[in-house]
Amino acid sequence: MHTRAALTTAITLSALIALSGCATTPTTDQATTPSSAAPIAVGDANTADVMFTTMMIPHHEQAVEMADMVLAKNGIDSQVTALAEQIKAAQGPEIETMRGWLEAWGVDSNSGMGGMNHGDGMMTGTDMDALDRASGDEASRLFLEQMIQHHEGAIQMAESEVDTGQNPDVVALAQRMDDAQTAEITTMRTILTSL
């Protein structure tokens, strides 16, 4: 529990440090607001929007990598294959959308975030190796278990963005992610019971 709080604090501080050089001049309303409540504006995005986008790109990239791993295997349950294709088809374009936002905001997607653990749900190298080595029903089961954890982390990030984000496009994407991945978790749990 303390580790999660420390990680959240570290990520927030890293984002603030990384963004401090990108902050625009505050508006009159922002200038009169106490600094603890004023968002750091980067174009039409606040700190929450930029942090969510910067962290969600590698999160999605790992999900696509996991989907590619399972799609390259033989003997995978057809429901798992269909789900992996669905995840890849949804998250690939979302990565490109988010990269476009960061570019428009003048934020380097690797600034201060590249070596960090990008939020709850990320698989470790050991987890990824286990999925890579697995085959057949074991690979199907492992993919589902790992992707449920991965989605749960993404949902936490998305809900935080919906609560604290400013940019309507980013907030809308976060809400779509929350809805889609919540539904996929239900599907994955159902598939797990049938394996």
Q: How far apart are CA 55 and CA 15, in angstroms?
A: 10
Residues 6+ away with beta carbon under 8 Å from 83: 144, 147, 184, 187, 188, 191
Where residue 108 falls among pLDDT bands split at 50, 70, 90? confident
Q: For residue 27, what pLDDT is reported?
A: 34
pLDDT digits (tens, 9 = 90+) for 42-90: 568 999 999 999 999 999 999 999 999 999 999 999 999 999 999 999 9
The pLDDT of residue 159 is above 70 = yes
Mean pLDDT of 172-190: 97
Residue 120 and residue 12 in contact, taking contact as beta carbons nearer than 8 Å: no
Q: For residue 99, what pLDDT is reported?
A: 94
Percent of the chain with pLDDT over 90: 69
Query: Where in the sequence is the domain holding 175, given as residue range(s)?
Result: 2-194
Residues 6+ away with beta carbon under 8 Å from 192: 141, 144, 145
In the chain, % helix, strand, coil (3-state, to 5) comes to 75, 0, 25
Where residue 24 falls among pLDDT bands split at 50, 70, 90? very low
Q: For residue 35, what pLDDT is reported?
A: 35
Structural domain count of the chain = 1
Q: For residue 110, what pLDDT is reported?
A: 74
Could you give phi then psi for residue 31, rounded to 5 degrees?
-65, -30
The pLDDT of residue 10 is above 70 = no
> Tokens for 131?
């999925």
CA–CA distances in Å: residue 32 to residues 19, 28, 29, 38, 166? 21, 6, 5, 9, 18
Percent of the chain with pLDDT over 70: 73
pLDDT digits (tens, 9 = 90+) for 125-143: 999 999 999 999 999 999 9
pLDDT digits (tens, 9 = 90+) for 95-107: 999 999 999 999 8
Q: Which of 14-18, 92-96, 124-128 has the lowest mean pLDDT?
A: 14-18
CATH number for 129: 1.20.1260.10
Average pLDDT of the chain, as a whole number: 81
Q: How far apart are CA 4 and CA 15, in angstroms?
A: 16
